Structure 1
Amino acid sequence: MSAIPSKLTDRFDKVRELVDVAEMYAADGAPMSAMQSLVEAITNIRSIIEPAPDQDRHPMARERLVETVEGALHRRTPEEVAAVPWVAASIGEHDERIGALASLVETVTAQHQAALVKWITRDWTCLCVVSCAEDPATACSLSGQQHVHPAIPGQTGVYGPCPMHPDAPGDH
């Protein structure tokens, strides 16, 4: 990291100064002034870590991105910095391979979410594994409902009568 002061370093210094001032106010019994100083520090922190509204339209310049990441590394690990969504997205705009990985992650995340929703919304009132409608050889008159026809021991692919509908016609 460079020893040359940067705009980002100046912004971090401003945050530290505001926090120090807030501590002095608090120690002197001026909680409202301390709170105002902390609110200003929060505003400065947000301007460092949150993208500007126009960032969605224009990619962050590589030099500014590097400067921002280097500034963040003063207090955070590389893993913590990489976990910030807009940092990851900005890096992906400058590195084709990372951008492609991010796109893959989004796709897999969407598929994972869909699979979770499918599992969660499954009808759990019946623990069936075979529907009568799936195999005409075992279809009973109530084929539209899921239920199990038990396999006959020793006879692969041969099923017995429907335990859910023992009196149903066509069930033998």
Structure 2
Amino acid sequence: MSTETEPTSPYAQVRDLVELAETYAEDGAPLSAQERLLEARTLLDGILRPRGTRKAPSMSLETLVTTVESATLRRTPEEIAAVPWVAAAIGEHDDRIGALGELADQVAAKHRAAIVEWIGRDWTCLCVTYCAEDPATACGLSGQVQHVHPAVPGRPGTYGPCPVHPDAPGDR
């Protein structure tokens, strides 16, 4: 009987990394949790796209290293890393950096979409509550658009029509 331990399967390693990330997150260490999740993603990428089936890097590692080393004579590492093709080329040779780059691209796309949504929002209605919270004053916009009916002066608990949507069905 051999005393050597059998190497852990990549699937078990992914599970362990995800569990560790969960522990870090619960302990209030989100950056450590994210690092473990990136390691898990790198392993998953390796399982899903084995090295032999991946696209070949756009330049050899030797050429990339020589190019980056030459650039360090005139630029800081931060300036070199900011060049998109350099970051992409390094990501082709380092799975973890590639996964980080893909994550950054996804976050940037979500950020752009959130900005577009914000810009396209109808800013004429800056209402704050759903009138459906009180069925007695609910209007046709209940549950659809955040809006508020203004209180009628001198009549506490009585509300008038929505000032932004006075013609909405149910407004009185």
TM, length-normalised to structure 2: 0.52
> C-alpha displacement at 1:147, in angstroms?
3.4
Q: Provide closer, same or farther for how the CA distance between residues 120 and 107 of structure 1 changes in structure 2, counting only shifts above 3 A.
A: same
- Kindly indicate whether the alpha-carbon contact (under 8 Å) linking 1:73 and 1:81 is maintained by their aligned counterparts in 2: yes
Tell me which stretches of 4 or more aligned residues in structure 1 moved more than 4 Å.
141-146, 165-172
Match of 1:20 in 2: none
> C-alpha displacement at 1:59, in angstroms?
2.6
Q: How does 1:1-172 map to 2 (within 5 A)?
A: 58-132=57-131, 135=133, 137=135, 138-141=137-140, 147-150=147-150, 160-164=159-163
Structure 2 residue ranges without an equivalent (≥5): 1-54
Structure 1 residue ranges without an equivalent (≥5): 1-55, 153-157
- Kindly indicate whether the alpha-carbon contact (under 8 Å) linking 1:130 and 1:148 is maintained by their aligned counterparts in 2: yes
- Kindly indicate whether the alpha-carbon contact (under 8 Å) linking 1:149 and 1:159 is maintained by their aligned counterparts in 2: no
> C-alpha displacement at 1:166, in angstroms?
7.8
Q: Percent identity?
A: 61
- Kindly indicate whether the alpha-carbon contact (under 8 Å) linking 1:127 and 1:147 is maintained by their aligned counterparts in 2: yes
Q: Provide closer, same or farther for how the CA distance between residues 114 and 88 of structure 1 changes in structure 2, counting only shifts above 3 A.
A: same
> C-alpha displacement at 1:163, in angstroms?
4.7
The aligned length equals 111
Q: Provide closer, same or farther for how the CA distance between residues 145 and 74 of structure 1 changes in structure 2, counting only shifts above 3 A.
A: closer
Q: What is the alpha-carbon distance in structure 2 between the residues aligned to residue 101 and residue 151 of structure 1?
A: 52
> C-alpha displacement at 1:170, in angstroms?
5.3
Q: Deviations over 1:2-55 (max 9, x none)?
A: xxxxxxxxxxxxxxxxxxxxxxxxxxxxxxxxxxxxxxxxxxxxxxxxxxxxxx
TM, length-normalised to structure 1: 0.52
> C-alpha displacement at 1:102, in angstroms?
0.4
- Which of 1 and 2 has greater Rg? 1
Q: CA RMSD in A?
A: 3.4
- Kindly indicate whether the alpha-carbon contact (under 8 Å) linking 2:162 and 2:171 is maintained by their aligned counterparts in 1: no
Q: Provide closer, same or farther for how the CA distance between residues 160 and 81 of structure 1 changes in structure 2, counting only shifts above 3 A.
A: same
> C-alpha displacement at 1:115, in angstroms?
0.4
> C-alpha displacement at 1:126, in angstroms?
1.9
Q: What is the alpha-carbon distance in structure 1 between the residues aligned to residue 68 and residue 167 of structure 2?
A: 72
Q: What is the alpha-carbon distance in structure 1 between the residues aligned to residue 168 and residue 84 of structure 2?
A: 58
- Kindly indicate whether the alpha-carbon contact (under 8 Å) linking 1:60 and 1:90 is maintained by their aligned counterparts in 2: yes
Q: What is the alpha-carbon distance in structure 2 between the residues aligned to residue 161 and residue 117 of structure 1?
A: 33
> C-alpha displacement at 1:125, in angstroms?
1.5
Q: Provide closer, same or farther for how the CA distance between residues 115 and 141 of structure 1 changes in structure 2, counting only shifts above 3 A.
A: closer
